[in-house]
Amino acid sequence: MNAEDFAARLVASLQGQGEKKNKDWWEKYLKHVISFHGIPMAKLRALVDSFWSKSSLGSSSSIELKKDVAFELWKCKFSEEKLSGTLIYEKLVSELTLDDVAKYFATALRAGYLCDWNNVDWLCMKVLGRLVARGRDFCEAIAHWTMNDAEPIWLRRAGVVAFVWIASKRNYEGFAELVLTAAANNLKSQERFIQTGTGWTLRELGKASQEKVVLFIEERVQNFTREGVRYAVEKMPAKVKQKLLRLHQEQFSKSKRAKLRDEEV
């Protein structure tokens, strides 16, 4: 069988496995940007594991075919089908290469196959986070997604959220600077999910490099939305948190007054 056939068989195995209450809750929570079957995550993982072990996909298929099957699942309509693709990539994470970052992950995000925060963040936590933990080359390749502000929102979000998993840990020399550069690139945008993803990453980086993150926020406070800066300072000591929030409020008030003056002229 080819990748499309395997994907179609796995999708067929998910039919009728959902719960309406779960489906309605998730679709409302994600503001109806994507459809759900309503399959709880633990059950979905069990279904994927069962398909993996009972079909020839897990036992005898080539690594490239497995990657292609996961990619085909990302093209599907329902969230659980896309999540199935991510769960397969999670199984393959130790065998993924630097070339796969562009071939599969950047391609899917640019094409819009993953275009909601739930699926993008699952990819970041379960796959990309483990890739960047493998070293500088993977870090640089994924951080590069933030370089061009004309790139899709979800590619740029993934370009920082991929680091959440390791940001609070000890890393190679220059790691913090790489993440801060990616964050600075993303803060050119006021889009909500770019701001919250960047703030989330800074929150975790601040656990290991608080002084660098505080200085970063002070120097770029005007580039944060209120929600973005709240994410970034959430885990900081109370006094530091209050100082940075107050600085942001002062900057916001100053900008608002300047805008009113311009409108009066």
Here the tokens at position 144 are 């590069």
Instruction: Give the per-residue pLDDT at 29.
Output: 97
Instruction: Give the per-residue pLDDT at 170.
Output: 80
Q: pTM score, two decimals?
A: 0.92
Query: Could you tell me which of 211, 264, 212, 223 has the C-alpha nearest to residue 247?
Result: 223
Query: What averages of pLDDT result for each successive group of 10 residues across the chain (265 residues)?
Result: 95 97 97 98 97 90 95 98 98 97 98 97 98 96 97 98 94 94 97 98 96 97 96 96 95 62 49
Contact predicate 193/155, CB 8 Å: no
Instruction: Give the per-residue pLDDT at 59.
Output: 85
| 106 secondary structure, DSSP code | I
Q: How many CA atoms lie within 13 A of 194 on its CB side?
A: 23
Instruction: Give the per-residue pLDDT at 32.
Output: 97
Compute the CA torsion angle 143, 64, 18, 26 (nearest 10 deg).
Answer: 10
Q: For residue range 126-182, list pLDDT tens digits in order.
A: 999 999 999 999 999 999 999 999 999 999 999 999 999 999 988 889 999 999 999
Structural domains of the chain in order of their starting residue, each with its CATH number: 1-95 (1.25.10.90), 116-265 (1.25.10.90)
Question: What is the rounded radius of gyration, in angstroms, for the C-alpha atoms of the chain?
Answer: 20
Residue 237: burial class (beta carbons within 10 Å; 0-12, 13-18, 19+): exposed
